[in-house]
């Protein structure tokens, strides 16, 4: 086992390639100024160094026999982009950033460059997940190709760092990078709570964050972002919306004639909003399987959040 793992290490240890400036286009006529290369690679450097650190930690630990699962390795790399951006701008690890914090000016300005280098891409990837939350899950093997999966993976690790790190997000990410486990097992062990608790809190938070729900428990909020502030303008750009709105896809039910078919990826969910007018009678909602029987299967969860 040890020999085979060492061979795998030497064949998979990351090599760091980075763009180089070429102001005169001497190679293939591809002109790249020093300033454009610097701007375009700042987030990439943070991202790729995380991969190298993660692999290096596992290489040095004799208790480790596998590299990190792709989804969690990518989530941590995107987390590194955010962490470096916060240091660059002087933000705290748990400072609840608004859109005006991350982009307080119009381009060109240094803050806009920081936004594009460290913040925009994570928020854009999260937008893709929020637009189709039932189709993508953070733990998916599609993390190597799907922007939506990566956005979800970053967001759930960000959620755990906010709420299950004892106020020390960097301690959580160090624990994740150290292993020795991988993937979901590593994630739950570092956060010290069951994976169902993390998924529940994350899904609820993606709707409830900074919504002002009375008496909402603290663990159903993000501490590092005000997503109700930062997501609408990003989503407007990413999804080419005519107006800036919170991009989480939520389906309204309660008309009395609803018969909705839905299928979720494991680890994610579908969001519904049931509205009952003041003084109206009770409304019943049934969740049934394909045969019309009350749905009951391993891993099924229904979370109800009263917002008024």
d(CA 149, CA 247) in angstroms, rounded, equals: 16
CB atoms within 10 A of CB 23: 12
Q: Which of 149, 172, 166 is nearest to 267 (CA)?
A: 149
Q: Are 76 and 176 in contact (CB under 8 A)?
A: yes
**pLDDT computed for residue 4 by the predictor:** 53
Q: Which of 12, 8, 9, 28 is nearest to 20 (CA)?
A: 28
Place of tokens 């990078």: 177
Helices 147-163 and 183-191: crossing angle, nearest 10°?
A: 20
Q: Are 86 and 92 in contact (CB under 8 A)?
A: yes
Cα dihedral 265, 160, 119, 73 in deg (nearest 10): -70
Q: Determine the distance from the C-alpha atom of residue 116 to the mean position of all C-alpha atoms in its chain, rounded to a whole number.
A: 17
Longest CA–CA span in the chain (Å) reads 75
| Dihedral sign for Cα atoms in the order 146, 248, 189, 55 | positive
d(CA 283, CA 32) in angstroms, rounded, equals: 62
**pLDDT computed for residue 1 by the predictor:** 46
DSSP assigned state of 242:
S
Q: Is 214 exposed, middle or buried (0-12, 13-18, 19+ CB in 10 A)?
A: exposed
**Sequence-separated (6 or more) residues with CB below 8 Å from residue 4:** none
Q: Is 259 exposed, middle or buried (0-12, 13-18, 19+ CB in 10 A)?
A: exposed
Q: Are 118 and 43 in contact (CB under 8 A)?
A: yes
Each residue's pLDDT tens digit, 191-228? 999 999 999 999 999 999 999 999 999 999 999 999 99
Mark the ranges of the chain whose per-residue pLDDT is less than 50. 1-2, 5-7, 9-10
**pLDDT computed for residue 111 by the predictor:** 87
Q: Are 45 and 16 in contact (CB under 8 A)?
A: no
Distances (CA, A) of 254 to 220, 249, 274, 279, 283: 25, 17, 6, 15, 7
Q: Are 82 and 76 in contact (CB under 8 A)?
A: no
CB atoms within 10 A of CB 157: 28
């Amino acid at each position: 086992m040890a020999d085979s793992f060492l061979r795998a290490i030497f064949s998979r240890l990351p090599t760091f390639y980075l763009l180089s400036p070429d102001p005169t286009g001497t190679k293939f006529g591809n002109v790249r100024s020093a300033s454009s290369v610097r701007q375009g690679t700042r987030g990439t450097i943070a991202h790729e160094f995380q991969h190298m650190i993660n692999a290096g930690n596992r290489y040095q630990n004799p208790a480790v026999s596998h590299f990190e699962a792709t989804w969690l390795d990518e989530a941590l790399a995107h987390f590194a982009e955010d962490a470096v951006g916060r240091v660059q701008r002087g933000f705290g690890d748990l400072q609840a950033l608004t859109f005006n914090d991350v982009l307080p000016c119009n381009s060109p300005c240094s803050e806009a460059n920081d936004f594009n280098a460290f913040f925009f891409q994570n928020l854009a990837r999260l937008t893709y997940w929020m637009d189709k939350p039932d189709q993508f899950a953070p733990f998916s093997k599609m993390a190597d190709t799907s922007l939506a999966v990566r956005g979800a993976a970053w967001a759930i690790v960000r959620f755990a760092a906010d709420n299950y790190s004892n106020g020390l997000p960097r301690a959580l990410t160090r624990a994740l990078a150290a292993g020795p486990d991988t993937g979901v097992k590593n994630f739950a062990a570092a956060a010290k709570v069951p994976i169902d608790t993390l998924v529940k809190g994350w899904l609820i938070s993606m709707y409830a964050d900074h919504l002002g729900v009375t008496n909402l428990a603290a663990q159903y909020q993000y501490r590092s972002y005000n997503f109700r502030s930062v997501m609408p303008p990003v989503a407007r750009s990413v999804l080419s919306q005519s107006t800036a709105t919170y991009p989480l896809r939520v389906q309204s039910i309660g008309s009395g004639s609803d018969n909705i078919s839905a299928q979720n990826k494991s680890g994610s969910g579908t969001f519904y909003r049931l509205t009952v007018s003041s003084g109206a009678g009770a409304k019943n909602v049934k969740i049934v399987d394909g045969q019309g029987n009350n749905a009951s299967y391993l891993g099924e969860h229904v979370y109800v959040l009263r917002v008024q």
